[in-house]
A and B are shown apart, each in its own frame.
Chain A
Amino acid sequence: MPSGEPRQAGGSERYLTKISARDLNVFYGEKQALYDVNLDILRNTVTALIGPSGCGKSTFIRCVNRMNDVVVGCRVEGKITLDGDDVYGEEIDVVQLRARIGMVFQKPNPFPKSVYENVAYGPRIHGLASSRAELDEIVMSSLERAGLLAEVKDRLGDSGTSLSGGQQQRLCIARAIAVNPEVILMDEPCSALDPIATAKIEELIETLRRNYTIAIVTHSMQQAARISQRTAFFHLGRVVEVGETAQIFTDPHEPRTRDYVTGRFG
């Protein structure tokens, strides 16, 4: 069974491809990190990327929004498209690209500014609001959609770093969605959080899915099983298997996938 080709099991035909990687090879200097990756991320689904440490999952998503551009010595070969447009094409403005593709990082990293400013920064630099009232509107609705408004509405002026870990991460999510992206990439967003905070974020991801396309790198297979509709298993820089989450966790086709999800290595 060829790995990497999206398995169109029942129901997923109605989802179109949002992001597509073809023959992606990524090098850090001499060392190759990704080998011939072919992967589709479908619209309005949560796609989980699982695999042991150092197998290329983070490298992959950082190529999608070109965060790897700032890494010295990183070379990207192959093609990644967003709605059919080549992400590395010459007409693409990286700054605009990163407004369309938001990112949430492993360790919550709010700006050392107020809660309001954290969320308002993105819309401001992209000129999404033409008046203070509009900016307020964007900030409030982003905080609402991130499930944080109720907890911070009296403390919008407080520093973003004064919130708890889980709240900080939701603030980072609010910050990401404030610029109205189409895709949200998450790199192990819950690994630094306690179970309750994690549960809140997972709930949030489920509601966000209706409006955004989400790709999430996760070390927790239970999390991948709980919240994703599609799962891609990475091993040693290659996509070993990708398919519907239920299938990957009840009947994985590739022996390496089976060994990984049942915990025989990891």
Chain B
Amino acid sequence: MNTLRFNTLQRYRPTRFKKVGSALLLLIAVFTFSLVTPSADAHDNTKIPRLANGKPDFSGIWQTTSAADYDLEPHSNRKDAPPGPGIVEGGEIPYLPKALAQRKKNFENRATDDPALKGYTLGVPRAVYYPEPFQIFQRARDLTVIPQFGHSVRTIHTNNTEHPEDPNDWWLGDSRAKWEGDTLVVDAKHFNDKTWLDRSGNFHSDALQVVERWKFIDPNTIEYKATLTDEQVFSKPWNISVILHRHREKNFQLIEDYRYTLDYDQYYPPKPDQK
């Protein structure tokens, strides 16, 4: 009765008999699967990797697929950025008025003023959502985070030590962490003001404090949340959240990315036919 329509995107519709048979097979398959495999609950924490001391082991190479580094806030596309829904809870960073003016200035000058252009360090928390992999090496006493980009290495202490008595203003701050169940809660502070939070000019002062929560969603996925506080820049604390995916490609490894050497590295080492 109906005009038979076929087109490139339409699925083949099986006959009634085939439908019933398929449904039966599916039912049997599901039943069997549920018998032989353990619970497929994505939040089954017994399957996540753990250190010998039982704590979740975040070791591995991680990367976000989010466009957060281009702009933490929701944004349409630009010539230098894909669009993104942003990762800021509530959609907007609560800038103090004077700081908002600075942010706008940063945005206009981002092609030259983004500190990441210097190539040495992304700071905290930007390295977490920068679109390049980073590797976590974890022992009982600490996590060492090595981003592929730049040279800086961040240590997150998990040995019940506190922020030092006489802190500096560090590029990566000082990170001290505690476990809340299977969530790693990191308190990072004592930053300088020389890094940005993203490419679009969102920034902070040396009063920045970042409280992070790292938690497995499943063995290959981490949910990363952070609360940023900076009374010189923001009117109140605000939250971000990204998902990090484990790199599982065979033999995947970091490949060093030292942008700052590219302007001069052609002059080394000497070559026989040079000069």
B is a partner of A: no
- List residues of B whose CB falls within 8 A of some A CB: none
